[in-house]
Amino acid sequence: MSIANAYLTVAGLGIDVIYKDIKNLHISVYPPMGRVRVAAPETTDEDTIRLAIVQRLPWIKRQRDQLQKADRQTKREMQSGETHYVWGQRYRLDASRTSGNYHVETKGQTLWVVTPPEADGDAKRGTLDRWYRRELKAALPALLAKWEPIVGVEVDKIVVRRMKTKWGTCIAHSRTIWINPELAKKNPRSLEYIMVHELTHLHERSHNQRFNDLMDQFLPDWRVRRDELNRAPLADEDWGI
């Protein structure tokens, strides 16, 4: 069982430290951006942890470099033929159709973004972004109805909001959950994982052993879903949780 959490800075790197009832110290580097975590025996002092990190810095940096060069989508220019993702499925963009109204639809493996003839790339991108938000908002009520009773909490408010560093976040004092609209591009399993993750934070704010135990209880395959999300193609702004 973990008994405490700490945060250290070593050679410019932020390090999450979790003290556990284990015999040996373990250093891990997590996708997508190379978060470093140390699991240390309960009696390990800070100097020992810092020394272990310094000794493994070359390995840590190699792991971070590999993760940060992982499969990324190039910037979307909203040109026909680009690849876009909807709920984890790959679609080919067709932006050639025009109409007096802005709308988006999928048919087969094609993602149609229909705009007035004068619409530029930014207008088309905005049309698609708003559609992603609507898709996500439409999926949230059923997830809340399913998982609030299982987790044993109730949310006062849920907000779809773009975040640069998180897929979701929980504001415990106001019982509010924020969900990143980028999740509409990922497999629905990922959205469900993030929903359970944030609901669980209403029981436990920290990512400690109690939190992990609760996640194991509510969603036993949560680690698999987390890893699936972190392995999915990344847009430039995507980060993990």
Look up the CATH number of the domain holding residue 171.
3.30.2010.10
Show which of 34, 68, 102 is a domain's final residue: 68
Half-sphere exposure of residue 168: CA atoms within 13 angstroms, side-chain side: 25
For residues 45 and 124, state if they share a domain.
Answer: no
Instruction: Provide the number of structural domains found in the chain.
Output: 2
For residues 95 and 61, state if they share a domain.
Answer: no
Write the pLDDT tens digit of every residue in 133-151: 999 999 999 999 999 999 9
Write the pLDDT tens digit of every residue in 78-89: 899 999 999 999
Dihedral pair phi/psi, residue 221, rounded to 5°: -95, 25
Does residue 200 lie in a domain region?
Answer: yes
Does residue 169 lie in a domain region?
Answer: yes
> What does the pLDDT read at residue 134?
96
For residues 9 and 114, state if they share a domain.
Answer: no
For residues 64 and 103, state if they share a domain.
Answer: no
Mean pLDDT of the chain: 87
For residues 90 and 28, state if they share a domain.
Answer: no
Write the pLDDT tens digit of every residue in 198-216: 999 999 988 788 888 999 9
Does residue 238 lie in a domain region?
Answer: no
Residue 103 has pLDDT above 70, yes or no: yes
103-107 β-sheet, strand order: 83-86, 89-94, 110-114, 103-107
Measured CA to CA, the distance from residue 204 to residue 218 in angstroms comes to: 13
Does residue 142 lie in a domain region?
Answer: yes
Does residue 73 lie in a domain region?
Answer: no
Instruction: Find the largest Cα–Cα distance for the chain.
Output: 68
For residues 188 and 127, state if they share a domain.
Answer: yes
For residues 118 and 202, state if they share a domain.
Answer: yes
Distances (CA, A) of 124 to 44, 100, 162, 218: 55, 13, 18, 40
Measured CA to CA, the distance from residue 221 to residue 74 in angstroms comes to: 31
Question: In the structure encoding, which two tokens stand for residue 170, read together?
Answer: 């929980």
> What does the pLDDT read at residue 30?
80
Measured CA to CA, the distance from residue 40 to residue 28 in angstroms comes to: 11
Report the pLDDT averaged over residues 69-95.
82
Does residue 239 lie in a domain region?
Answer: no
Write the pLDDT tens digit of every residue in 151-162: 999 999 999 998
For residues 120 and 223, state if they share a domain.
Answer: yes
Q: Do the bridges between strand 35-41 and strand 26-30 make them parallel or antiparallel, or are there none, so unpaired?
A: antiparallel
Residue 218 has pLDDT above 90, yes or no: yes
For residues 185 and 104, state if they share a domain.
Answer: yes
* Residue whose structure tokens are 């991108």: 125
Q: What is the DSSP letter of 73?
A: P
Report the pLDDT averaged over residues 167-179.
93
For residues 87 and 175, state if they share a domain.
Answer: yes
Measured CA to CA, the distance from residue 182 to residue 213 in angstroms comes to: 27
For residue 55, give its domain range: 4-68
Does residue 237 lie in a domain region?
Answer: no
For residues 61 and 93, state if they share a domain.
Answer: no
> Which residue from 99, 70, 71, 67 is spatially nearest to 85, judged by alpha carbons?
71
For residues 115 and 61, state if they share a domain.
Answer: no
> What does the pLDDT read at residue 236?
42
Task: Burial-class residue 168 by CB neighbours within 10 Å (0-12, 13-18, 19+).
Answer: buried
Residue 50 has pLDDT above 70, yes or no: yes
